[in-house]
Amino acid sequence: MKKIITLDKFIYQALYEKKKGYYTKNISFDKHGDFITSPNISVLFSEIITIWIIMYWQNIGRPKKFDLIELGAGNGEMMFQIINTSKIFSDFNNAINFYIIEKSDYLKKVQKKKLYKFKIKWINNINKFKSKNKCLFLGNEFLDAFPIKQLQKIKNTWYEKYVHEYYESRTINNKKINIKKYHNILGIEFIKNKNFIEFSPSLINFIKKLSIHVKKCYGGVLFIDYGYLKKSMINSLQGVKGHKKYNILLDKGEVDITHLINFYFLKKILNDNGLNVNGITTQGNFLRKMGIIERAELLSKNKIFSYKVNLYNRLKRIIDKKEMGDLFKVIFASHKSIKFKKGF
C-alpha cells in the first residue's frame, strides 16, 4: 500500500521505530560505525568539558548539591570520562549527581554496561526529570538527532516536503500547505522574506520543556553540535552510512539521517522560552580557550613518539578549522540571573 507521510515522520520512523530504527538497534559511535563523535575521538574533549562544568559550578557558588544531566549519551563515553575526571576534584565530586536522559532502550543498555561502576540515574523522557537542586544540562550531537520538516516557497505558494512510500520504493514530493499553521511555532517575523525553512517541531517542543527545568533550577544548558550561524536557512538534510553521505530514502533504519543546526534559530527558540544565551562559538575556539592545547602538552611530556602522534592527531581532528573545529559550534544558554562566559 502506498503511504504518504511528512518528512519528519519518515525520519522519526527511520531513526527511532522500535527495533527497526537506526538508534534502536546495533549502532556504534566509533570508527566501526557510520560516524564518530568527539568524545570517541579524544579523551581530551570530555576532560575539557568537565573542567568547564566545574568552573560553572564554582561560578554559581559551589552548591552542595548539583545535578548534571546528559541528553542523549550515545555509547556513554563522554559520561564515563566526565565521572572519572570529576573524581580528582573532591568538593565537586561530593556535590554532583549524574543523570542521563536517553530515548533509545538499546543505547540505554549499552550505557548501563559501560557505566556499571558509577551512580547514575537514567530517565526516558525529560517530563520525568524531577529535582530541587541546581542543575546543568549537556548535549553533544544531541540536537542533530531530531527529525526535521522542510518548507519551501515557490511563486508565493508554500509547500511542505512529504515522503511517498510504496514498499521499498520512496520519493520526496511537495504538498501545498497553508503557512499560517506554522505561524505560532516559527513566528510570523521569522517566516517573512524566507523561501526555505528547515526545522524540527519535536526539538522546539523539547526545548520548551527543557527551558522550564533550566529556569526552575536556576541552571543552564550547553549544546555542542554541527551547524551554521547565519539567519537564512539551507537544505542540510543528509544521510550518513559508513562515514560517507548516503541517500536518506534508501535502506530505512540502516542510515543515520541528520541535518545541520541553524544556531541563529536555536538562539531565537532559547530566547523565546525565556533563557539567556551567554555565548556561541566554534568548537575549536571553545576548546582552545579552555586550554586543550596546554592539556595535550602536559599529557605528552616524556611520552614516546607514537603516543604523541596519536594524541595530536586526535586533537587536530576536534579543533582544526578544516576538520571539526569550525563546523561544530558550542552554545550556552541559562537562567537570566547567570552570567558565565568562560570559553566563549
| Interaction site with ligand SAM (CB under 6 A) | 23, 29, 37, 39-40, 71-74, 78, 101-104, 107, 140-142, 145, 206
Beta carbon nearer to ligand SAM, 113 or 336: 113
Beta carbon nearer to ligand SAM, 142 or 182: 142
Please calculate the CA angle 258-259-265 and round it to the nearest 5 degrees. 140
Cα(239)–Cα(115) distance, integer angstroms: 30
Residue nearest to ligand SAM (CB): 72
Tell me the closest approach of the beta carbon of residue 100 to ligand SAM, in angstroms: 9
Cα 131 off chain centre by: 22
Beta carbon nearer to ligand SAM, 139 or 343: 139
Beta carbon nearer to ligand SAM, 177 or 240: 240
DSSP codes, 60-98 = TT--SSEEEEEES-TTSHHHHHHHHHHTTSHHHHHHEEE
Tell me the closest approach of the beta carbon of residue 145 to ligand SAM, in angstroms: 4
Nearest-10 Cα torsion for 125, 127, 133, 135:
60
Tell me the closest approach of the beta carbon of residue 230 to ligand SAM, in angstroms: 23
- The contacts found for 213-217 with CB under 8 angstroms, 24 or more apart, are 213/126, 213/129, 213/135, 213/137, 214/135, 214/137, 214/275, 214/333, 214/334, 214/335, 215/274, 215/275, 215/335, 217/67, 217/131, 217/132, 217/133, 217/134, 217/135, 217/335
Tell me the closest approach of the beta carbon of residue 142 to ligand SAM, in angstroms: 5
Beta carbon nearer to ligand SAM, 209 or 267: 209
**How far is residue 83 from each of residues 52, 69, 100, measured CA to CA in Å?**
14, 12, 12
Tell me the closest approach of the beta carbon of residue 195 to ligand SAM, in angstroms: 29
Beta carbon nearer to ligand SAM, 70 or 160: 70
Tell me the closest approach of the beta carbon of residue 229 to ligand SAM, in angstroms: 21
